[in-house]
Amino acid sequence: MDNTASLNWYDLYRKNFTVNDTGSTTDFWGNPLEDRRFGKSVLEDGREVTYKRGHTFNDYVGRWNKHHPAVWAHENGVHTDNGLTGDAVTDYFNNATVKELLHIKPEMYLNNDTTWEDCNGNINQQWHIQNEASLWIYRVLKHQSDIRMLFFSGDTDGAVPALGTRKWIEKLGWEVKKPWTAWVHDGEVQGFIEHYRGHFDFATVRGVGHMAPQWKRAPMQYLVTSWIHGENITVINPPSPTPQGDHEEVILEW
């Protein structure tokens, strides 16, 4: 087995998923579970359905790369860190009251699946490969003056790397209106942000991978909420030389 077996490709500097791996016998709402991997939900028409709670590392990686060493290790009885994560969020979105408040009807589910699942297999199997990828839609949206775009990327994501995102954004050829600079929350640099002509912002999130809102909750809530409401985002002005040759960091508003 090679040295990549223990890597979490969705977050290269984080161990394989271990959060919430407590063996709890209740769901997020405190309801008893017969099996911690499965929960039960009641639909609008009174039917009871069973949903899969969260996913393990092997569930997550195995969907996309069945040849990943960690999947091989699991299938061949080699012990790997394979904790459960996402169980609370699947409990939440499968809760009957939550679905009612969000106006989610049974007929809205693809193929009458009737349950919410993180990285839903039915949806993932319905997409089509296009040679032009998704670049074209950004060029279309650029001309919609009432549509703003924010693309964020965790900088330790090994599956969809932030560097790759920067490369395809460069291919758009859009003028940079506000240059690459650090954004700040709670007195700490949380990543970098850049603004382009065409109502488009790109932000990185420092020290997290593919699921940035899961691992950097407060900074991501700050970034996304501020952006949605058109509020200022605190950034650090790139240092400039003073007559004494020193550098000064100044907090500005984005």
Q: What is the 3-state secondary structure (H, E, C) of 97-152?
A: HHHHHCCCCHHHCHHHCCCCCCCCHHHHCCCCCCCCCCHHHHHHHCCCCCCCEEEE
pLDDT at position 246: 44
The confidence band for 36, taking pLDDT boundaries of 50, 70 and 90, is confident
Which of 60-74, 106-120, 143-157, 209-223 is predicted with the least confidence, judged by mean pLDDT? 60-74
User: 85: closest CA among 30, 136, 21?
Assistant: 21
Q: Tell me the domain boundaries of the chain.
A: 1-127, 135-253
User: 198: closest CA among 233, 180, 164, 173?
Assistant: 173
pLDDT at position 161: 92
Contact 211, 156 (CB under 8 A): no
- Measured CA distances, 2 to 69, 159, 196 (Å): 7, 18, 42
Q: In CATH terms, is domain 135-253 a member of 3.40.50.11320?
A: yes
User: 223: closest CA among 251, 204, 237?
Assistant: 204
User: 33: closest CA among 45, 50, 55?
Assistant: 50
Predicted confidence (pLDDT) at residue 134 exceeds the cutoff of 70? yes
Q: Label the pairing between strands 176-185 and 38-42.
A: unpaired
pLDDT at position 250: 47
DSSP type of residue 194: E
Predicted confidence (pLDDT) at residue 197 exceeds the cutoff of 50? yes
Contact 205, 220 (CB under 8 A): yes
The confidence band for 133, taking pLDDT boundaries of 50, 70 and 90, is confident
The confidence band for 21, taking pLDDT boundaries of 50, 70 and 90, is very low
DSSP type of residue 14: S
Mean per-residue pLDDT for 34-52?
A: 83
Residue showing tokens 């090679």? 2
Which of 90-94, 95-99, 111-115 is predicted with the least confidence, judged by mean pLDDT? 111-115
pLDDT at position 6: 62
Tens-place pLDDT, residues 151-189: 999 999 988 899 999 999 999 999 999 999 999 999 999
Q: If you average pLDDT over each of 20-29, 96-105, 195-204, which comes out highest? A: 195-204
Contact 1, 72 (CB under 8 A): yes
Greater confidence, 158 or 6?
Answer: 158
Greater confidence, 83 or 42?
Answer: 42
Mean per-residue pLDDT for 208-234?
A: 92
pLDDT at position 25: 76
